[in-house]
Amino acid sequence: EYGCNIDSASTIIHEFGHSVEMDAYYKVGKTNFFDIIRGSPYYEISSRFLEYSFLNYLKENNILVDEVLNVIQMKNSVKVAGKHT
Protein backbone atom coordinates (compact mmCIF):
# COMPACT_ATOMS: atom_id res chain seq x y z
CA GLU A 1 0.00 0.00 0.00
CA TYR A 2 1.32 3.40 -0.94
CA GLY A 3 0.86 6.56 1.03
CA CYS A 4 1.91 7.93 4.36
CA ASN A 5 1.64 5.61 7.32
CA ILE A 6 3.54 5.02 10.55
CA ASP A 7 5.87 2.45 8.97
CA SER A 8 6.77 4.85 6.15
CA ALA A 9 7.29 7.72 8.58
CA SER A 10 9.53 5.63 10.84
CA THR A 11 11.56 4.51 7.79
CA ILE A 12 12.08 8.13 6.75
CA ILE A 13 13.25 8.97 10.27
CA HIS A 14 15.57 5.93 10.22
CA GLU A 15 17.14 7.10 6.95
CA PHE A 16 17.46 10.62 8.36
CA GLY A 17 19.57 9.07 11.12
CA HIS A 18 21.98 7.82 8.46
CA SER A 19 22.23 11.29 6.97
CA VAL A 20 23.03 12.76 10.39
CA GLU A 21 25.76 10.18 10.89
CA MET A 22 27.14 10.73 7.37
CA ASP A 23 27.26 14.46 8.04
CA ALA A 24 29.32 13.82 11.17
CA TYR A 25 31.75 11.67 9.17
CA TYR A 26 32.05 14.33 6.47
CA LYS A 27 32.89 16.93 9.11
CA VAL A 28 35.92 14.90 10.18
CA GLY A 29 37.07 14.36 6.59
CA LYS A 30 35.77 10.86 5.87
CA THR A 31 33.91 11.02 2.57
CA ASN A 32 34.03 7.48 1.20
CA PHE A 33 30.72 5.76 2.00
CA PHE A 34 32.19 2.25 2.07
CA ASP A 35 34.95 3.33 4.46
CA ILE A 36 32.31 4.79 6.72
CA ILE A 37 30.10 1.70 6.93
CA ARG A 38 33.07 -0.64 7.21
CA GLY A 39 34.67 1.59 9.81
CA SER A 40 31.69 1.70 12.12
CA PRO A 41 30.18 -1.42 13.63
CA TYR A 42 27.58 0.94 15.10
CA TYR A 43 26.36 2.41 11.81
CA GLU A 44 22.72 1.38 12.41
CA ILE A 45 22.52 2.46 16.05
CA SER A 46 21.73 6.15 15.62
CA SER A 47 19.16 5.38 12.93
CA ARG A 48 17.48 2.71 15.04
CA PHE A 49 17.49 5.01 18.06
CA LEU A 50 15.72 7.79 16.16
CA GLU A 51 13.26 5.35 14.60
CA TYR A 52 12.28 3.72 17.89
CA SER A 53 12.24 7.08 19.70
CA PHE A 54 9.68 8.30 17.17
CA LEU A 55 7.55 5.18 17.62
CA ASN A 56 7.84 5.42 21.40
CA TYR A 57 6.81 9.10 21.30
CA LEU A 58 3.67 8.22 19.37
CA LYS A 59 2.87 5.34 21.73
CA GLU A 60 3.41 7.39 24.90
CA ASN A 61 1.23 10.18 23.56
CA ASN A 62 -1.58 7.83 22.48
CA ILE A 63 -1.17 8.63 18.78
CA LEU A 64 -2.25 5.77 16.50
CA VAL A 65 -1.18 3.29 19.18
CA ASP A 66 -2.52 0.16 17.44
CA GLU A 67 -0.64 0.97 14.24
CA VAL A 68 2.51 1.84 16.21
CA LEU A 69 2.39 -1.48 18.07
CA ASN A 70 1.92 -3.35 14.78
CA VAL A 71 4.91 -1.56 13.24
CA ILE A 72 7.09 -2.29 16.28
CA GLN A 73 6.10 -5.95 16.19
CA MET A 74 6.79 -6.14 12.46
CA LYS A 75 10.19 -4.44 12.77
CA ASN A 76 11.20 -6.70 15.66
CA SER A 77 10.32 -9.84 13.70
CA VAL A 78 11.98 -9.01 10.37
CA LYS A 79 15.14 -11.02 9.77
CA VAL A 80 17.68 -10.82 6.97
CA ALA A 81 20.39 -13.47 6.71
CA GLY A 82 19.68 -14.63 10.25
CA LYS A 83 20.09 -11.16 11.79
CA HIS A 84 17.46 -8.80 13.09
CA THR A 85 17.32 -5.68 10.94
Residue-wise pLDDT tens digits, 25-39: 788 877 676 666 666
In the 3-class helix/strand/coil scheme, how is 2-67 assigned residue by residue?
A: CCCCHHHHHHHHHHHHHHHHHHHHHHCCCCCHHHHHHHCCCCCHHHHHHHHHHHHHHHHCCCCHHH
Q: Which residue, among 21, 28, 24, 26, has the nearest Cα to 43 in the 3D structure?
A: 21
Instruction: Give CA–CA dist 12/10, Å, rounded.
Output: 5
Give percent of the chain with pLDDT exceeding 70.
Answer: 75
User: Has residue 84 got a pLDDT over 80?
Assistant: no
